[in-house]
Homo-oligomer: A and B are copies of this chain.
Amino acid sequence: MNLKELSALLGLSQTTVSRALNDYPEVSEATRRRVKEAARANNYTPNTRAKGLATGRSMAIGHVIPISTRHEIVNPIFADFIAGAGEIYTAGNYDMLLSVVPDVDEERTYRTLAARGSVDGVILHGPHADDRRIPLLRELGLPFVVHGRAGHEEDSYSWVDVNNTRAFRRATDFLLDLGHRRIALVNGLESMDFARRRRAGYEAALKARGITPDPALMRSEEMTEDYGWRAARDMLADENPPTAFAVSSMLTAIGVRRAIGDAGLEMGRDVSVVIHDDVLSYLKNGGDIPIFTAARSSVHEAGRLCAEMLLRIIAEPAPATPRHLLLESELVIGSSTGPAPTG
């Protein structure tokens, strides 16, 4: 069923039917009701492509998911982020277009997306410290929101980010307050902006207590379980092992916990662990009592907020000033932390 058929059926012109359906005022209430009723009855929905062609809008938002060619890893937070964003798109009658591309092809993907006009805007994932995609998107004139920030010129584009620096500052402070002095940082890839900020928070906390950060206690890698295990195993085997770990993701922390167990130690008693918890739906941080003491910030919620911000930007008539949203994480105390062992 298309517009032509529907209007023939109703004995009205396509114009009137279209206007009735799109709530234009030039049509009487009686006609509008009759048209809408017929549309529902005949299961009529306007063809997306035709509508898009006529309006010049695609009613779709693009997400480009880069596959790291070196690591072949899909970021596990991705599913929950998408779920959050997807809710907003569905509510706003937008589609979500996903492109899974090797990270080296990303630039080309954005160019094609813009040239084809297949999306009205994009969400930028996983910004690097100085991300080339940001100037590219600006050049392409494609509205976008960054999930996270790049190091420079934060004011010149729109973003939604967690206060990573403060989160790790607080987490580290918490460990310091418990008497820990040798605190390890099991960080994400420090080519990523969020990881740099977390390290900055970690180092600031140490320095504020007169402790010089020890490079032997810092790791930076893609945040897998295996990485957490290796990092913790190696550091614990050291002659001067850490008594606490600040870990960038729950998954990595599960590996850290495994290494602690393998070393015959007990988490929360012999070794403390604080983590950043993205509140992934399939990886809840325990039930009533959290397993891990954590700086908690929902990535699902971040997805919603990014999507909302982007749709708002697209709806604006003129390209207005960039929007920013800095989310604060919440520190929850679990059973993975305790006073530093004495002696």
Please report A residues at the B interface, Cβ cutoff 8 Å: 1, 43-50, 52-53, 58, 60, 65, 67, 71-76, 78-80, 82-83, 85-87, 89-90, 95-101, 111-112, 115-118, 223-226, 230, 251, 254, 257-258, 261, 280-284, 286-287, 291
Q: Which residue of B lies closest to A84 (CB)?
A: B100
By the criterion CB–CB under 8 Å, are B48 and A116 in contact? yes
A52: chain B residues at CB < 8 Å are 49
Nearest B residue to A281 via CB reads B73
Min distance, Cβ A203 to any Cβ of chain B, angstroms: 27
Roughly how many angstroms separate A111 CA and B224 CA in the complex, as a whole number? Answer: 39
CB-based contact B90/A100 at 8 Å: yes
What residues of chain B lie closer than 8 Å to A281, measured between beta carbons?
Answer: 71-74
A261: chain B residues at CB < 8 Å are 261
From the candidates B47, B100, B254, name the one contacting A86 in the complex (CB within 8 A): B100
CA distance A117 to B1 in the complex (A): 11
Q: How far is the CA of A45 from the CA of B76 in the complex (A)?
A: 33
Q: Known: A224-B283, A283-B225, A287-B226. Is A47-B117 also a contact (CB below 8 A)?
A: yes
A19 CB to closest chain B CB (Å) equals 20
A55 to chain B: closest residue by CB: B49
Residue picked from A50, A117, A281, most chain B C-beta under 10 Å: A281
**CA of A223 to CA of B282, assembled, Å:** 7
Would you give 23 A-B contacts (Cβ < 8 Å), ordered by A?
A45-B112, A46-B116, A47-B53, A48-B49, A48-B58, A48-B117, A48-B118, A72-B281, A74-B281, A74-B282, A76-B283, A82-B100, A85-B100, A86-B101, A87-B100, A89-B100, A90-B101, A96-B99, A224-B283, A225-B283, A225-B284, A226-B284, A251-B283
Other than the given A82-B100, A95-B97, 14 more pairs (CB < 8 A) read: A1-B115, A45-B112, A48-B58, A65-B82, A67-B87, A72-B281, A76-B280, A82-B98, A86-B101, A97-B98, A98-B98, A225-B284, A230-B287, A258-B291
Query: When the two chains form their complex, are residues A49 and B45 in contact, meaning their CB atoms are under 8 A apart?
Result: no
Please measure, in the bound complex, the distance between the C-alpha atom of A281 and the C-alpha atom of B291, giving whole angstroms: 24
Find chain B residues with CB under 8 A from A225 CB. 282-284
Q: Is A75 touching B282 in the complex (CB atoms < 8 A)?
A: yes
Compute how far the CA of A118 lies from the CA of B49 in the bound complex, rounded to whole angstroms. 7
